[in-house]
Every structure is written in C-alpha cells, then in structure tokens.
Structure 1
Amino acid sequence: MTVWDHFQCHRGDCLLTGTGTLKAVFFIFASLCAWYSGYLLAELIPDVHLSSAVYSIQSIGKRPVLKAPTPKRQKCDHWSPCPEDTYAYRLLSGGGRDKYAKICFEDEMLIGEKTGNVARGINIAIVNYVTGKVIATQYFDMYEGDNSGLMTKFIQSAPSKSLLFMVTHDDGSSRLKEDAKKAIEALGSTEIRNMRFRSSWVFVAAKGFELPAGIQREKINHSDDVKNRYSGWPAEIQVEGCIPKGPS
C-alpha cells in the first residue's frame, strides 16, 4: 500500500467518525425538544380533562346512541292522555279461566283480581257521573243460581246521572233472562241478545244523559273451537276512551 492510499483511508475514517458524531448530537437535541414540548403540553392541559380527552379520542367514529325518553304512564294505561275535562276509562273482559275481567275508571281499579271483587258471570260498576266517585260494584253468576233478577234490580237501582260499566268473565249468558236483557237493552246495548256461552262482552252505558257518539261503548267476541285463543274460551276484548265531564 502506498502512502497516498494510506492517507485516503485515514481521511475516510475521519469522515465516518465526523458523521457519526453529528448524528448523535442531532438525536440528543431532538430528544430534548420532544421532552420539553411534552412538558409544556402537560402544563397547559388540566389533569381533570385528560380522561375526557382520551374518551373523546376513543369515541371518534362511533355512532351516537339516541335514547328515547321513557313514556309517561297515563290513566288506566292509555297510550295517550285524556283531556283534563274528561274521565278516562278502560274495560277488559275475562280471558280463559285465570285472566280475570277488569274495570278501570280515572286510574282506579273498580273491578279486578287485585281488588278481589271479580267473578264468573257479568261484573258491573256504577259511577256517579257528576263527581266521578264509584257508587257500587257487584258480580252476578250467570252459570249457576238464579241471579238474573238480582242483576236487573241492581241495574235499575242506579240513580240518574250514572255511568254503568259491564264486563263478562267466563260465561255470562246461560241464565241471563229476558228481564235483564231488556234492562241492558234500555241502556243502549245492541249486543246483549247476541250473547252466547262464554262470549266475551264489554259495555259502557249512561243513565239519565247521553254519551257522545264517538266513544267506544260495546264489543263482543264469541267462543269458537277453531278460533279460540284459550282452550274453550275466546280472546279477551276491551274498550277504552275518554268521557267528557258534565257540569257539576
């Protein structure tokens, strides 16, 4: 190897050594800058917002979940509220052997399983139309015993300006006699003579005043071995609505 070659190699070593030193200095400088920038950022952002910031970053791209408010419960479990100047009512016939009939008026259960005053036959509640207070409730077995006459007297005893609510549970027709049919017919029923064994029937009546033509007043559903919802019984039926209050 010549002196010139030795000199070139020596210069190359020097050049390599100089380049490595510059890289090391640059790396240290960049690290110091990054550390100082992080320090300043930590000082500027309060600690209490750090978790929120992390959550916000994680939530990017997720679809917002919209929750509908829980619907407010209405009187007698109506879907929509009745106006202030009306009475809310809901009548439900019995269904099967164990689903008892119900009569609800102004969110008060007048007849039902929880009140303990519902039974087989025709269940009736009488309400004072002016005050909205219940006058009397009674059930009349139409399968056993002679209760048709007693029910007729009960209906006729309702004072003027009364609301009468009637629902069946199980059978309401077997011992239903002509006098009772006439008394219920006089109140505006158009289905009482169509009652059959275990027909589901509900009826809203007024005594001493007229109900508005548009409200739900009466429904009937007959037992049918092919279409029955329950073994031997048709499905329960219901009517509900709002009755305008009269002058007090």
Structure 2
Amino acid sequence: MRVSGVLRFLALIFALVTTWICIRSYISLNMKTLRLPRWLTDLATKEIPVVRTKCGLTKPCPKEFFAFKISSGAANVVGPTMCFENQVIMSPVKNNVGRGLNIALVNGTSGTVLTQKSFDMYSGDVKLLVKFLKEIPEGTLVLVASYDDPGTKMNDETRKLLSSLGSSYAKQLGFRDSWVFLGAKDLKDKSPFEQFLKNNPSKNKYDGWPELLELEGCVPRKIV
C-alpha cells in the first residue's frame, strides 16, 4: 500500500508540474510581439490605388482627349448605350433609345452634350433624320448606335450626310445591320471610330440579327 501510495503521489506531482509548464509556455508565447518582415508590413499598410477609367474604358485617356463608349442594340430586345466622359447619354435605363438610329451630339471643344434623339428608320423617320443631320453645328461630335433595324428605308441623301461625318459604312447600311460610329461635322477624313456588322442569316449570333457591337476610345477635343 505504501509503495502504491507513493507512486500515485509522484504521478500527481508530475501531472501538476507538466500542466504548470504548459500554461507558462502558452502565456509567454502570447505576450511576445510577433515581428513581420518589413516588406510584408509595408504591403499590408500601403493602400493600393484602384484605377477607375471614364466610361469603364480598358485604359484612361490622355488629358486633352474625351473618353467614350458606344454599344449597339442587341437584336430587338436590348437597346443601345452611349457613354461620354463618364456620363451615360442614352440607354434603356434612361428610356431615351428607340429602334433605328440613336444619335447624340456633343460639343467637340467642351464635351457638353447638346442633344440626343432616336430615329425609327423602319416607320419612315428619314425626312426628320435628314433635317437633323443638316442642322448639326460645326465642330460637333456625332455618336451613333443602331438598334433592331437602322437601314431599311434609308435613302441616298441620308447616307451621303452620314458619310460626310466620317462614316465608311453608311452607304452599305441595310436591314437589321449592327452599327456603332463616332464622327464629326465636316470631318476631312474617315473616322477611325466605327464598327459595322452585316446581317447574315448564316453568321448571325441572334435569331435574325447579328451580335451587338461595342466601340470605345479616346477622341481629341479638336477632331476637325
């Protein structure tokens, strides 16, 4: 009995000592200051700037340039969108787009939006479009986006006026074609800002319409 009691007593002492050592080590570890590498500390505290471009462009525009993005309509379901200098000019959300041609006029020097209007080329807004194009002031930027059907009833005069704005595809614009364009009044050369996709049943992305087009870029304040 005595030997058994001594062994139990020693086991108890050993357990108490072991527990005390573990507790002391835990407290000591938590009281120490963890030192991170300097480069890791700097990375954690340094604010990483997020570059936000106007109109969500892939890269920012130079100081003397305007940022823009134009998207054509998707079939006859989703209307086009126009953004200029981070301002949405026309869009389905703003409820100011329509089937046919959607056109916005912007002052080429100040970047001020002058007006925006849609022309239904299927029902016959051709005369209104001709009048509108003829009255565009000098030095005005012209943003155009198609929706549904931009060219069914377009006449030669309309095509000539759009071509004078710098378009390379106005003369071949037809039934349900997709088209986005940025030009200017009396532009001396063809505009570099234009995309065109012909309605082709064998290649169309949508049932009866080609896919939507998206055009973005930086246009200089003095384009003419």
Q: TM-score range by the shorter chain?
A: 0.7 to 0.9
SS in 2 for 1:183: helix
For the pair 1:31 / 2:7, whether they are aligned, the reply is no
SS in 2 for 1:176: coil
Instruction: Identify the structure with the greater helix proportion.
Output: 1
8 Å Cα contact 1:82-1:242 kept in structure 2: yes
Equivalent residue number for residue 90 of structure 1: 69
CA RMSD of aligned residues (A): 3.0
Alignment of 1:168-179 (within 5 A): 168-179=146-157
Aligned with 1:117 (options 86, 96, 103): 96
Equivalent residue number for residue 141 of structure 2: 163
SS in 2 for 1:116: coil
Aligned with 2:210 (options 231, 234, 240): 234
Q: Which amino acid aligns with 1:207?
A: K
8 Å Cα contact 2:164-2:185 kept in structure 1: no
Deviation, 1:218, is 0.9
8 Å Cα contact 2:176-2:199 kept in structure 1: yes
1:19–1:168 distance in 2 versus 1, CA, 3 Å: same
Q: Determine the C-alpha separation between the residues in 2 that align with 1:180 and 1:43.
A: 85
Deviation, 1:128, is 0.3
8 Å Cα contact 2:110-2:221 kept in structure 1: no
For the pair 1:197 / 2:175, whether they are aligned, the reply is yes
8 Å Cα contact 1:216-1:240 kept in structure 2: no
Deviates more, 1:155-164 or 1:201-210: 201-210
8 Å Cα contact 1:102-1:113 kept in structure 2: yes
Equivalent residue number for residue 58 of structure 1: none
Consecutive aligned runs of 4 or more in structure 1 exceeding 6 Å deviation: none
Deviation, 1:125, is 0.6
Q: Determine the C-alpha separation between the residues in 2 that align with 1:39 and 1:107.
A: 61
Q: Determine the C-alpha separation between the residues in 1 that align with 2:78 and 2:103.
A: 17
8 Å Cα contact 1:149-1:179 kept in structure 2: no
8 Å Cα contact 1:201-1:237 kept in structure 2: yes
For the pair 1:40 / 2:24, whether they are aligned, the reply is yes
1:170–1:43 distance in 2 versus 1, CA, 3 Å: closer
Q: Which amino acid aligns with 1:159?
A: P
SS in 1 for 2:179: strand
Deviation, 1:36, is 3.1
Deviation, 1:126, is 0.6
Q: Which amino acid aligns with 1:243?
A: V
Equivalent residue number for residue 143 of structure 1: 122
8 Å Cα contact 1:121-1:170 kept in structure 2: yes
Deviation, 1:216, is 4.7
Task: Show CA shifts across 1:104-128 (max 9, x none).
Answer: 1112121221222211111111100
Alignment of 1:47-86 (within 5 A): 73-86=52-65
Deviation, 1:204, is 0.7
Equivalent residue number for residue 59 of structure 1: none
- What is the percentage of aligned positions where both structures have the same residue? 28
Q: Which runs of 5+ in 1 are unaligned?
A: 1-16, 50-68
8 Å Cα contact 1:162-1:208 kept in structure 2: no
Q: Which has the larger radius of gyration?
A: 1
Report the count of equivalent residues: 209
1:208–1:198 distance in 2 versus 1, CA, 3 Å: closer
Task: Show CA shifts across 1:180-207 (max 9, x none).
Answer: 1111111221111111211011111022
Deviation, 1:78, is 1.9
8 Å Cα contact 2:140-2:184 kept in structure 1: yes
Q: Which runs of 5+ in 2 are unaligned?
A: 33-47
